[in-house]
Structure 1
């Protein structure tokens, strides 16, 4: 029986990952186009103003959600595995009530506390005030929609999340560009505030999509699965509301702390980096611009390159949780190994690609070639961040939600120390902050890997990873040479990059096929592409 279910479970996992990855690509393409236009409208200084408000928004959002969405996904997946469908719906209702209160509280706190943050110089540039108050309504809306996403992901249904992400981004980007352009004549602070309105509008549109999918799921499961689930679950026990709240709390608190770590570290960057840049001899305006290059241009490129691994992590949580609740240890190991293999297969070449083409990419995308040196430092972060995302998903799926936050805390301390030390050195400047970010990601990834090995027995296949590395280095050489030749011949950066990347990708895939790093079975398991290959 297990052998029959395993392939279906694997296909469901890969399908969910594929759907989220495609959605992620669409969202990132839309977002990249948005940043291309927005960065040219606002410039580095305007982006810096926007970015000064955004970390506080992320921090407030993490606190308001309190890790509950991931907890919903974990517990829902467990109850679906045990066919307790009524219990799964009860988990969602309770979590929705909790998130409504926390989201509203944090939204109001940011709105009324924006002036205090400016007055007490926590936000060093007073022009970020309008961005802060414009972002505050989005906290409530995003908190609510995250509960719907967590519940639907617990069913390993990733389509609602994917579609809602695309709709959210479309409405967000349209709002950002319209209001930024309309308010620009009044000043950069107003334009940045107008751009910040997009978060709330996008969240409202996404929430409407998720509510639709929730009611459709409820109707589809009401007669068949709910009835079947109740009859099968009567032989076990019915979990009380208090017990559910306790479990949600137990899971969500460490997940919340883990989620808070990212915006907390971003806020520490906000407090440390501009100040230390000023100590290194930069003016307030120059420090703001350099901070914008790092957080608004270099870091987003790294995140863009880890779309697949982020999707893997999201799909892993309910998949691992389901296997763990059924005691299927071998399936846990297989899921972990498969996810890590796919992560390294894509992250290694993206690291090389970003390092080789940092300057032309930034020139074409953001019209900011000065951010190239920062981006090259962070290029290796693509590989490390991929490992960190996947291992965090595994640990959370196992219910070991405390471990990632401790690991992130340890790495955050190292980052703060390096930020404070390196950024103030004139020879490093903003590159010192980039090195600190890289150290932060790397240390967290290594610590996570240790604990994944401890609980599952998984370890990275060094020989396989070396195949990816060698193939990526050859790919990088091909991209470098072909790009420079094509640029000389055509004089068009975008055209030269596109052809060079295409050629490098073919070389990378060809080397892996020749060395056994990639085989027919791997390709057959890719949704849509695999179907055509099997027919051939």
Structure 2
């Protein structure tokens, strides 16, 4: 039994690591191509790009984002019982469900792009061209999400990981090339060129996933032939299951994303009402969406990968009524998430300004100040997303929706007051996000304690990471300042400081036993890591 638990924990970390590595690669590519894209279209063009993406993200959530998680959960529950025919039927019905829903939303968006721009963003119609390019992307992403969810439900995260990298590579090349060609027609068309890469990236990813699925077919055919299941699910029952699973996931994700869409709408409309010029509003939002959020979202992608990897394991364990295994996976994934999120938040707060200067040649203090204030949301968003996934995987689907709705109400009131009466412009959005993510954490943790008697042991889960991160932050700050004083190069000083930060955090965690030898064995190549640490006399 002990070996089975260890194996389950190791598999969770391995699968999560595959997605995490892919997430890092994808976001690094995103950072790299955003640099020339921002230089081509400018802050104003990136503002139009950012506004269009806020609408696009809502459409993706309504038709796409919940699909991989729902298909993964439903498939994993059937595979755990060796019901391969039912798993295949779920896949087939999910394709139809996703295609119809996303196709409808895509058509409405394409036709109504100008009206959406006028209504949502205070008459900034320059958002419409980018929105029209993004409309068909919604359909492609929805179908792609079904393929990803199916392979995840089979316990294999590699197809999703590789498809994400393929998607981002095509996205990067096409975005920069199309923006460079179309910028001669103005910032709005330059932004539309940037969104064309999103469409072509999604198409390339869908083709890749279909080829992977085709390679699975012979093996799936053999499994279905051996499937002893006598009671096969009817299509109407499958559609009902998909709907009942997707709707709570969609509502939770929508509330998460709608807070961002409302932020952009409130920001543009309120600032315009109090006298700011549209070009200045768009430039400010361009800094927020293309620079600030880019750096904040990099570590969140890693923690989100662990949530995705956790869902099939918990769904399968619940289907087999292995409640102890469920709790162990919860402990493991929360602890690993905090080991990543806390040092990332400290690192972004300390080194955000120099990194912005290195990436975008932005010597102004605004992006750095934004990151110092907003870095704490990395921890709150990581934990709130993870706890929402745990509640959903534990069949408490409505609770995260309710908690997100309460948090959104608090967030809206707080943000409106700061925008209208405190004249904090872009900082009002940052403070509002802190309030929203913190509220979600508190409410989700309260729900976990009440519903499944799961209480977060904060000292055990976060204590060592907080201490190690504080030491890392102090050392990194002085290393950067010292390097700048000696060599007068922000690029070299930033690289040195970031490398030192990684080494210092790892050493402090190991020396203080913040991470145990048993936990190290769970990571990919864990045995090699442990052997190396013994040779260095660190264990």
TM-score normalised to the size of structure 2?
Answer: 0.94
Partner of 1:30: 29
Partner of 1:239: 233
Q: Which runs of 5+ in 1 are unaligned?
A: none
Tell me how far 1:421 sits from its aligned partner: 0.6
Q: How does 1:290-329 map to 2 (within 5 A)?
A: 290-329=284-323
Partner of 2:537: none
- Counterpart among 412, 418, 426 of residue 416 in structure 1: 412
Tell me how far 1:274 sits from its aligned partner: 1.8
2:395 is the counterpart of 1:396: no
Partner of 1:112: 111
Q: 1:403 to 1:121 in 2, by over 3 A?
A: closer
Contact 1:134–1:197 (CA under 8 A) maintained in structure 2: yes
2:12 is the counterpart of 1:13: yes
- Cα distance in 2 for partners of 1:277, 1:315 equals 41
Mean CA deviation greater in 168-177 or 305-314: 305-314
Structure 2 residue matching 1:460: 3-state secondary structure: coil
- Cα distance in 2 for partners of 1:423, 1:357 equals 27
Question: C-alpha offsets along residues 423-447 of structure 1, whole Å, 9 cap, x if unaligned?
Answer: 2345522111110011111111221
Q: 1:376 to 1:66 in 2, by over 3 A?
A: closer
Partner of 2:224: 226
Structure 2 residue matching 1:423: 3-state secondary structure: helix
- Cα distance in 2 for partners of 1:279, 1:364 equals 35
Runs of 4+ in 1 over 6 A off after TM superposition: none
Q: How does 1:118-517 map to 2 (within 5 A)?
A: 118-120=117-119, 122=121, 124-223=123-222, 225-228=223-226, 230-231=227-228, 233-234=229-230, 237-368=231-362, 369=364, 370-425=366-421, 427-464=423-460, 465-517=462-514
Question: C-alpha offsets along residues 324-353 of structure 1, whole Å, 9 cap, x if unaligned?
Answer: 111111111100000000011111111111
Partner of 2:80: 81
- Cα distance in 1 for partners of 2:481, 2:119 equals 50
Structure 1 residue matching 2:253: 3-state secondary structure: helix
Tell me how far 1:532 sits from its aligned partner: 5.4
Contact 1:145–1:206 (CA under 8 A) maintained in structure 2: yes
Structure 1 residue matching 2:276: 3-state secondary structure: coil
- Cα distance in 2 for partners of 1:123, 1:343 equals 39
Contact 1:13–1:156 (CA under 8 A) maintained in structure 2: no
TM-score normalised to the size of structure 1?
Answer: 0.95
Tell me how far 1:387 sits from its aligned partner: 0.5
Tell me how far 1:456 sits from its aligned partner: 3.7
Contact 1:60–1:106 (CA under 8 A) maintained in structure 2: yes
Contact 1:281–1:426 (CA under 8 A) maintained in structure 2: no
Tell me how far 1:268 sits from its aligned partner: 0.9
Q: 1:122 to 1:285 in 2, by over 3 A?
A: closer
- Cα distance in 1 for partners of 2:513, 2:491 equals 33
Structure 1 residue matching 2:420: 3-state secondary structure: coil
Contact 2:120–2:265 (CA under 8 A) maintained in structure 1: no
Q: 1:117 to 1:463 in 2, by over 3 A?
A: closer
Tell me how far 1:529 sits from its aligned partner: 4.5
- Cα distance in 2 for partners of 1:5, 1:317 equals 18
Contact 1:251–1:399 (CA under 8 A) maintained in structure 2: no
Tell me how far 1:367 sits from its aligned partner: 3.2
